[in-house]
Structure 1
């Protein structure tokens, strides 16, 4: 009995010892994570929203697992995710972050981190996601990024990395998505693509890479999307035709030549094929749709293709978009295109097709999908509107093609594309004056529709893709498919037609009420987007935070305008000094808000908006000494 009691006492002592030891180890591990996070906070030089300053402190919250951006595991109470994207932080990454040994996700997208990346991060062996996109990191991409055995998503896009890509990165066996786009990488592409089939997305756009796309690309048997835009690749390897699950292939603005298009014909799973802006030549096979039966978008513009447009394109039953502009196609436009049920966009201008005007005027053709509900009404509406209105800043209709089974508008060609293209294409940029001029043109067009025509016209769908730019960068408002005539002044009418989410006025979206004030609201949103380069539907806008609130927060109380406007225009030397630019942008943002108030009656009208924009430009030119755009 005594022996039994002694054993029991010994077991209890050992149990208490082991429990205390486990608690001590857990506390030590927890303290390690805590120290790592505090060291990270100490290396932050700018926290404009005071998120870390206010929240990452023991005064407000003693448990680091409740800190903003921090997620812990329920079992170990260790930090498993650190996501501080889109909050404008600046600073460097300290080596202490490598002590977060349970970290699975590390997201620092859309901040201003800089400096070298510490090698201690390579100790984070559990990482599955790394997203350092859109920061200011420089130098070569460290080869130790290839030492994460579980890494599935790897994004370094939009930084200043240079040099070559280490082969070790591509050989990560679990990697599904790699995005290194929009960096300063250059030179001949020598890193082999992996032998693993795990990849689903490969994004290597705008890296200025030359040479050949590696034949190992054929090993990516699970890949869904390949994006190689804005490089200098000259050919597509035959092995690309073996990618049986590839749905999207983007190799636009490269140097593809001759018959580089041919290997694509073996990818029957393709839904999107974008090879715009290369040097490919030859004829397209008439049976192209026997190979690409699932394709929805074909973009082969700005190449050197010739011959006839395939008459059997109608066999691509899912086709929605055909872009063949700036080639050498000849003959007539196949009438069979009218059989495509879902076709909504076709660009054929700058070819040698029958139907080009005899006087040499370049035209754009807008073909209506007659299978869509309301297509006939939309066609009639555009013909009616554009035939009766004339203004320098409205798209000009040249003719209508009104057949029983084929309806199209022949429009004035806008060679410089849309405002949307100028805002988001990596090869385009605009000064403050160019943006002011474009938006003043839009304001004048809308002023004419609202106040200068016999019956007020409401456009109902003002957005960047409907603002087209000619050779002289003069803007023209286009697409009157859902425009409405109203009784007079600011009176309202009701409609069930839906405009575009993000741009439509609240009263339009909720009640279907249409008035000229709805266009004013849309104009205000487009004006914001033009100077911030942020869409109203950007993923950064969640909950109560939207584009308008983001701008309000930048104006009041500390006028931190530099945090919301497109960085290019604050850094552009040709547009006057910093103070005049800042003052101009602040005035523009205040006009934005005056146009986009929630209540229609509180919005200014387009006449006043146009006058205000003119005054803003005049003052800006005066402040910066009459600088030209």
Structure 2
């Protein structure tokens, strides 16, 4: 009886091992077929992808741009390989990916990434993708970095990104996104980097962005044309080190609340229609290295408080209506 039980347990154990090996091998073969399918959609894949040999599935983990863990493809990095063509939806079958970069190529057409629940970093910048980014972001629940800079997307800013609770880096700049910045973007409280510049955005900059208190970088300038001025709520962005709101039609005064941003090193407000005097509170920005207020309609004098800006290396005030003495800072 004992012998029978032991034989049964051994049989179950070996069966489980065999099943695990089979599933692992099958999954890697699946990844192999997906990658071969992707390559067929690329233009000029050689010599960059010469190692992607369709006759040898077991070699997948040694292919260029591929990294595996536990016999599954977890990294696909095609950065700067001078590839063209399109990116098949098959890429979303690489279901164990944690890192995906298609950046720095000439891919065209639409793209949609979905069902990659392990994906943490997605970079599709510097391509020629078109359409919009209205994806099923709930299937990308671990995404932390989303970089879509410098493409030809023409749509409203995607609202689906609001489901990305772990998102830290969002760059949608250098496209043709239009409409307003959604007020709900102020709910992306985990963001440390937000770039929406170089689009065709209109309307007011929502004060709700002031809720993004983990931000270190915000870039909203260039080609966008906003109504109104700089939200005073931006004074709550106390972790900012870089703010660029240049050349986007801002008017009204510079909010004195910006003086709360004690970690700020770069402040770009040039080429706008900002008016009024320079707030003396900007003299509190003792880490400031560059301040660009050129090409506005600012009046008055340079505040004496600027004597505190001992780290300041570059100060641009051209084409304003300032008068009085120029401080040496």
TM range (shorter): over 0.9
The whole-number CA distance in structure 2 between the counterparts of 1:65 and 1:99 is: 16
Q: Give the secondary structure class of the aligned counterpart of 1:298.
A: strand
Query: Secondary structure in 2 aligned to 1:51?
Result: coil
Q: 1:108 aligns with which of 91, 95, 102?
A: 102
Q: Does 1:176 align with 2:185?
A: no
Aligned to 1:318: 311
Within 2, Cα distance between the matches of 1:309 and 1:188? 34
Deviations along 1:288-339, one digit per CA (max 9) or x if unpaired, are 31x32221111000001112222342211111110111111122323xx1xx
Matching of residue 300 in structure 1 with residue 293 in structure 2: yes
Q: Is the 8 A contact 1:171 1:195 kept in 2?
A: no
Q: What is the match of residue 127 of structure 2?
A: 135
Tell me, in whole angstroms, the C-alpha distance in 2 between the residues paired with 1:44 and 1:155: 21
What is residue 47 of structure 2 aligned with on the other side?
A: 50
Shift of 1:103: 0.4
Deviation at 1:267, TM superposition (A): 2.0
1:15 aligns with 2:13: yes
Change (3 A) 1:285 1:99: closer
C-alpha separation between the residues in 2 aligned to 1:253 and 1:124?
38
Over residues 147-169 of structure 1, what are the superposed CA-to-partner deviations in whole Å (9 max), with x where a residue is unaligned?
42111110111111012012221
Matched, 1:88 2:82: yes
Matched residue SS, 1:163 = coil
2:68 and 2:186 mapped to 1: Cα distance?
33
Residue correspondence of structure 1 range 579-618 to structure 2 within 5 A: none
| Matches for 1:119-198 after TM superposition, within 5 Å | 121-145=113-137, 147-190=139-182, 192-198=184-190
Deviation at 1:265, TM superposition (A): 2.4
More helix by share: 1
- Tell me the secondary structure at the aligned position of residue 282 of structure 1: strand
1:191 deviates by 5.2
Equivalent of 1:264 in 258, 262, 279: 258
Report which of the two has the higher share of strand.
Answer: 2
Cα 1:287–1:243 change in 2 (3 A) is closer
CA distance in 2, matches of 1:14, 1:141: 47
**Is residue 137–residue 163 contact of structure 2 (8 Å, CA) maintained in 1?**
no
Match for 1:64 among 60, 64, 76? 60
Aligned to 2:326, which of 315, 333, 342? 333
How many Å separate the matches in 2 of 1:219 and 1:255? Answer: 23
1:139–1:191 distance in 2 versus 1, CA, 3 Å: farther
Q: Which runs of 5+ in 2 are unaligned?
A: none
Output the aligned Cα RMSD: 1.8
Alignment of 1:380-399 (within 5 A): none
Listed one character per residue, the Cα deviations across residues 76-103 of structure 1 (whole Å, up to 9, x for unaligned) are 2111110001011111111221111110
Shift of residue 272 of structure 1? 1.1
Q: Paired residue for 1:212?
A: 204
Cα–Cα, structure 1 residues 305 and 184, in superposed 2: closer, same or farther, change >3 Å? Answer: same
Please say if residues 134 and 159 of structure 2, whose CA atoms lie closer than 8 Å, have aligned partners that are also in contact: no
Alignment of 1:449-528 (within 5 A): none
Please report the TM-score for the alignment, with normalisation by the length of structure 2.
Answer: 0.94
Structure 1: give runs of 5+ residues left out of the alignment: 341-629
Instruction: Please state how far the C-alpha of 1:62 moved relative to its aligned partner.
Output: 4.0
The corresponding residue for 2:29 is: 31
Question: CA distance change for structure 1 residues 39 and 171 in 2, over 3 Å: closer, same or farther?
Answer: same
Residues of 1 paired with 2:92 and 2:110: CA distance?
Answer: 14
String of CA shifts for 1:529-548, please: whole Å, max 9, x gaps.
xxxxxxxxxxxxxxxxxxxx
Deviation of 1:24 after TM superposition, in Å, equals: 1.1
User: Structure 1 length as normaliser, TM-score?
Assistant: 0.50
Larger-gyration structure (1/2): 1
- 2:245·2:268 contact (CA, 8 Å) conserved in 1? yes
* Contact 2:116-2:139 within 8 A present in 1 as well: no
Distance in 2 (CA, whole Å) between partners of 1:273 and 1:226 is 10
